[in-house]
Amino acid sequence: MSLLTDPRWAEALDHLPDYLGNHVRVSVTALALGLLVSLPLAILSRHRPVLRAGLLGLASIVQTVPGLALLALFYPLLLALAALSLSWFGFGFSAFGFLPAVLALALYSMLPVLRNTITGLQGVEPAILEAAQGVGMTPRQSLFTVELPLALPVMMAGIRTAAVWVIGTATLSTPIGQTSLGNYIFAGLQTQNWVFVLFGCLAAAVLALLVDQLLALIESGLRHRSRFRAGLGGAGIAALVAATLLPTVMRSQTNYVVGAKTFAEQYVLSALMTQRLKAASLPATTREGLGSNVIFEALAANDIDVYVDYSGTLWANQFQRTDMRPRQELLAELKTMLAKQNITLLGELGFENAYALVMPRKRAEQLGIRTIADLAARAASMSIAGDYEFFSRPEWAALRKAYGLSFRGQRQMQPDFMYAAVASGEVDVIAGYTSDGLIAKYDLVTLGDIRHAIPPYDAIMLLAPKRANDEELRKALAPLLGKIDIATMREANLRAAGNDSASSPDAVAQWLWEKVGRK
Amino acid sequence: MPTTPLIAYANVGKTFDGGRVVAVDEVSLEVAEGEFLAIVGGSGSGKTTLLRLANRLIEADTGSITVEGEDVRNIDPILLRRRIGYVFQSGGLFPHLTVADNVGITPKLLGTPPAEISARVDELLDLVRLERAQYRDRLPHELSGGQRQRVGVARALAAKPRIVLMDEPFGALDPLTRDALGDDFRELHRTLGLTTVMITHDMTEAILLADRIAVMRGGRLLAQGTPAELSESGDAYVSELLRTPRRQAERISALLPQDGAA
């Protein structure tokens, strides 16, 4: 199949109004807010060297924080603020999605605007400033009729840089719950759907270029005092915003929102739940690529309605428990703890997606390694790789304590690449996921956890507080509970890891339903 | 000579850098209505500071300055500047505004209706001998140095001031342009009944244009008077300043035939 006739292009195009609309809204709002704050600050600081140095220093520091981290930082910050505002003023706000994204991106846009505005204003010749004073201008008149117009080209260059940065960085707002063109990229990376990745990058680039050119048009209009050109540029940006608002206005507000974390299994399961809801005539959309901590808070705050989490993850991360319980006991206690937050644990799907130490079957057999205890004896000469969070998770500490594990080296890796790395011998062991289809594909084996150091990780379906008594929703999702065993999920995940159109989350979800729906 | 001076400095002093640099030291000077006064001095003599004290671009430390009989400290500096014309060194035109907008800036600040400003701009361009149709919509960088300075003069005159202050207005121009512009301005000064204070470091220019000359050095006013009065001054620096134009005049008259085509 040629690249151009790939049906995934059409699928990507279907998402465009939603993703692009959200992307434009969040970028334009952030840029507007950034300008609203930076321009007055820059003007205020032009005769105040200390303030100026402080502002530029602060903005530079913000710039050195990676975009993804900056966005992620705003989420807990706003959560705390929302809780504070709720207890002080009696109203809260959603710390999810739009707000943290706008604030972080606005902060990001400040440096080029501040720096160029200050530079532009300082570049105005002293003789010209004197002349402005001499003909009888007030400081304000001097600023607006002389200084700002003369600084305009430099200022606009900064604004254009900021616009391009914001539009580019907005793709990173997907994990904190803001739908954007980044959804293509995150989903594409997780499900190895390169068409999506490419589509997302292209769309973001085209949007950035378009906005840059519209701003250039406004600049040239202002510079040559052409109302027509400036108006055309302004109208272009207004039209862009209006066009992206249209689909949102028309969409109904009673949608069910199904959440998904940032890996392929989650994309498949959220697609499966969305299909079930739609089959029951319940309007549903997905919110994909959410960070592991973000998604739970989003559910608790009713920003999403339903998603699948794993018992061990909630136990250790959300409730900070370090003690171990047998599987059923842990589930029961979890259910009680969740109920205290008005979150419903609807039930288990039937499989576990636990961390497990994984190595190639042949190598394990050669070395006679069957359990983690066997591995511990040889670990000193071996290296291990895990995903970005594994080595800071309590499971890792528990494993090391229970088995006295000590490896020669450890590395962090993108989960999708881990399995290939261990199969090729680049690392000796990985901390993989039990439900991952790649275990079978690469002929790997999971090592027995005979001392039960790793807690159970049953996949469980959670409902938001406001959906606790939603019978229609429960009924639509009930057929999935207890139906998906580990072999089925592994196969589904393996399919999703493919690189063709049959591997899209929707297609795999359909396949999964055909397998489990008949049971 | 008419009675009350239009501009009067009385024991004026100004220092910079917390008193370390004395720019103007105890200067008393009067400019009569209709008079053309040139202030002559080298760089650092305090002549520019003295000029700027008159429209409060710089505030005096000591002494008092009156303009049209009023102490400048009692006049809002913005309003004061709008009623005094000011010609800057090499024009000081706003580079992003057309000739017409530059010339019309002070009337615009005063709230004059656009149609009236437009008519006034045409009138002023005629006055400074610039073809209106040709120059109105040009930007400053499209003009020659002499043309820029003509626009600068037109801008200073736009709000019909009684007083015009000029800061080395013809310093950066070639001799021919300089001569023509000087003559033209002298003519405007006379026909419009202006009171003009001009700064220059060139004694020849001062003698040729001004009614009276004030000589400054090191912040102090050394001498003032008509060229004839100055030549009788006993001050060595003043005599030295006058020697150059005199010698030039002698050499020129020796070298050029008396009834030549000049």
Q: A343, A299 in Cβ contact below 8 A?
A: yes
Distances (CA, A) of A293 to A72, A262, A298: 10, 11, 9
The predicted pLDDT at position A248 comes to 58
Residues across chain A? 519
- Cβ-in-10-Å burial (0-12, 13-18, 19+) of A515 comes to middle
Find the radius of gyration of the CA atoms of chain A.
27
Task: Report yes or no: B150 at the A interface, CB cutoff 8 Å.
Answer: no
Which residue ranges make up each domain of chain A? Answer: 7-250, 256-352+456-516, 355-446
Percentage of chain A modeled with pLDDT above 90 = 39
* Alpha-carbon span B207 to B204, nearest angstrom: 5
Q: Which residues of B touch A141 (CB under 8 A)?
A: 109
pLDDT in tens, A364-381: 999 999 999 999 988 889
Q: What angle do CA A499, A72, A67 make, to 5 degrees?
A: 75
Percentage of chain A modeled with pLDDT above 70 = 96
The predicted pLDDT at position B257 comes to 75
Ranges A30-34, B129-133, B154-158, B169-173: which has the least confidence: B169-173
Cβ contact (<8 Å) for B92 and A149?
no
* Alpha-carbon span B242 to B237, nearest angstrom: 9
Cα distance from B178 to chain A (closest Cα, Å)?
21
The predicted pLDDT at position B87 comes to 94
Ranges A183-187, A478-482, B98-102: which has the least confidence: A183-187
Name residues whose C-beta falls within 8 Å of residue A364's C-beta, 6 or more positions apart in sequence: A370, A445, A447
Kindly tell me if the per-residue pLDDT of B94 is higher than 90.
Answer: yes
Instruction: Supply the CATH classification number for the domain A355-446.
Output: 3.40.190.120
Local confidence band at B36 (pLDDT 50, 70, 90 cut-offs): very high
Local confidence band at B170 (pLDDT 50, 70, 90 cut-offs): confident
The two tokens of residue B59 are 């505030």
State mean pLDDT over B20-28.
91
Beta bridge partners of A357: A431
Task: Report yes or no: B212 at the A interface, CB cutoff 8 Å.
Answer: no
Task: Report yes or no: B228 at the A interface, CB cutoff 8 Å.
Answer: no
Cβ contact (<8 Å) for B55 and A137?
no
Pick from A356, A407, A350, A399: nearest CA to A377: A407
* Alpha-carbon span B185 to B146, nearest angstrom: 12
The predicted pLDDT at position B114 comes to 94
| B109: nearest CB among A127, A137, A149 | A137
- Cβ-in-10-Å burial (0-12, 13-18, 19+) of B127 comes to middle
| B94: nearest CB among A133, A138, A146 | A146
Cα distance from A138 to chain B (closest Cα, Å)?
6
Strand B84-87 to B163-167 pairing: parallel
pLDDT in tens, A71-116: 888 877 887 887 787 778 777 676 777 888 899 999 889 889 999 9
The predicted pLDDT at position A251 comes to 53
State mean pLDDT over B2-21.
86
* Alpha-carbon span B249 to A171, nearest angstrom: 79
Q: Which residues of A touch B155 (CB under 8 A)?
A: 135
* Alpha-carbon span A273 to A481, nearest angstrom: 11
| B155: nearest CB among A128, A135, A141 | A135
Give me the sheet containing A444-446, strands edge to edge: A409-412, A383-386, A429-433, A355-360, A444-446
The two tokens of residue A512 are 């999964």
Name residues whose C-beta falls within 8 Å of residue A444's C-beta, 6 or more positions apart in sequence: A358, A359, A360, A361, A419, A422, A423, A432, A438
Q: Which contacts of B76-82 are long-range, i.e. CB under 8 A and separated by 24 or more positions? A: B78/A136, B78/A137, B78/A138, B79/A136, B80/A136, B80/B55, B80/B56, B81/A133, B81/A134, B81/A135, B81/A136, B81/B55, B81/B56, B81/B57, B82/A135, B82/A136, B82/B106, B82/B109, B82/B110, B82/B159
Cα distance from A124 to chain B (closest Cα, Å)?
10
The predicted pLDDT at position A135 comes to 92
Q: Which residues of A touch B96 (CB under 8 A)?
A: 146, 149-150
The predicted pLDDT at position B175 comes to 83
pLDDT in tens, B183-239: 999 999 999 999 999 999 889 899 989 999 999 999 999 999 999 898 888 888 888
Distances (CA, A) of B201 to A21, B165, B171, B251: 67, 15, 8, 21
State mean pLDDT over B117-143.
92
The predicted pLDDT at position B262 comes to 46
* Alpha-carbon span A436 to A132, nearest angstrom: 71
Cβ contact (<8 Å) for B55 and A127?
no
Cα distance from B249 to chain A (closest Cα, Å)?
35
Q: A258, A285 in Cβ contact below 8 A?
A: yes
* Alpha-carbon span A459 to A461, nearest angstrom: 7
CATH architecture group of domain A256-352+456-516: 3-Layer(aba) Sandwich (3.40)
Beta bridge partners of B65: B9
Cβ contact (<8 Å) for A134 and B155?
no
Residue A2 DSSP SS3: coil
Kindly tell me if the per-residue pLDDT of B1 is higher than 50.
Answer: no
Beta bridge partners of A25: none
Name residues whose C-beta falls within 8 Å of residue B226's C-beta, 6 or more positions apart in sequence: B211, B212, B213
Q: A269, A53 in Cβ contact below 8 A?
A: no
* Alpha-carbon span B145 to A144, nearest angstrom: 27
The two tokens of residue A391 are 């080595």
Kindly tell me if the per-residue pLDDT of A253 is higher than 70.
Answer: no
The predicted pLDDT at position A142 comes to 94
The predicted pLDDT at position B233 comes to 81
Local confidence band at A297 (pLDDT 50, 70, 90 cut-offs): confident
The predicted pLDDT at position B225 comes to 92
Residue A136 DSSP SS3: coil
pLDDT in tens, A146-183: 999 999 999 999 999 999 999 999 999 888 878 889 98
pLDDT in tens, A334-366: 999 999 989 999 999 999 888 899 999 999 999
What is the ipTM metric for this complex?
0.89
Chain mean position to CA B119: 25
**Can A7-250 and A256-352+456-516 be said to share one CATH topology?**
no
The predicted pLDDT at position B71 comes to 93
Task: Report yes or no: B48 at the A interface, CB cutoff 8 Å.
Answer: no
Local confidence band at A2 (pLDDT 50, 70, 90 cut-offs): low
The predicted pLDDT at position A319 comes to 86
Residue A65 DSSP SS3: coil
| A135: nearest CB among B89, B96, B105 | B105
Pick from A306, A302, A335, A294: nearest CA to A466: A302
Query: What is the full DSSP assignment across chain B?
Result: --SSEEEEEEEEEEEETTTTEEEEEEEEEEEETT-EEEEE--TTSSHHHHHHHHTTSS--SEEEEEETTEEGGGS-HHHHHHTEEEEBTTB---TTS-HHHHHTHHHHHTT--HHHHHHHHHHHHHHTT--HHHHTT--GGGS-HHHHHHHHHHHHHTT--SEEEEESTTTTS-HHHHHHHHHHHHHHHHHHT-EEEEEES-HHHHHHH-SEEEEEETTEEEEEE-HHHHHT---HHHHHHHHHHHHHHHHHHHHS-TTS--
Mean pLDDT of chain B: 90
Distances (CA, A) of A7 to A188, A319, A501: 14, 43, 7
Cα distance from A226 to chain B (closest Cα, Å)?
13
Q: Which residues of A touch B94 (CB under 8 A)?
A: 128, 131-132, 145-146, 150
Local confidence band at B20 (pLDDT 50, 70, 90 cut-offs): confident
State mean pLDDT over A471-493.
90
Backbone angles phi, psi at B21, to 5 degrees: -110, 115
Backbone angles phi, psi at A187, to 5 degrees: -65, -40
* Alpha-carbon span B211 to B196, nearest angstrom: 10
Query: What is the full DSSP assignment across A400-456?
Result: HHHH----SEEEE--HHHHHHHHHTTSSSEEEEETT-THHHHTTEEEPB-TT--SPP
Q: Which residues of A touch B57 (CB under 8 A)?
A: 130, 133-134
The predicted pLDDT at position A4 comes to 66
Interface with chain B: mutation pick from A121, A125, A133, A135, highest number of B CBs within 10 Å: A135
* A115-135 residues labelled b (16+ CB within 10 A) or e (exposed): bbbbbbbeebeeebbbbbbbb
Q: Which residues of A touch B140 (CB under 8 A)?
A: none
Amino acid at B41: G
* Alpha-carbon span A238 to A263, nearest angstrom: 36
Instruction: Supply the CATH classification number for the domain A7-250.
Output: 1.10.3720.10
Cα distance from B79 to chain A (closest Cα, Å)?
7
Local confidence band at A422 (pLDDT 50, 70, 90 cut-offs): very high
Name residues whose C-beta falls within 8 Å of residue B13's C-beta, 6 or more positions apart in sequence: B22, B24, B25, B26, B27, B60, B61, B62, B63
Residues across chain B? 262
Cβ contact (<8 Å) for B88 and A141?
no
* Alpha-carbon span A319 to A333, nearest angstrom: 11
Domain B1-83+163-262 matching CATH 3.40.50.720: the answer reads no
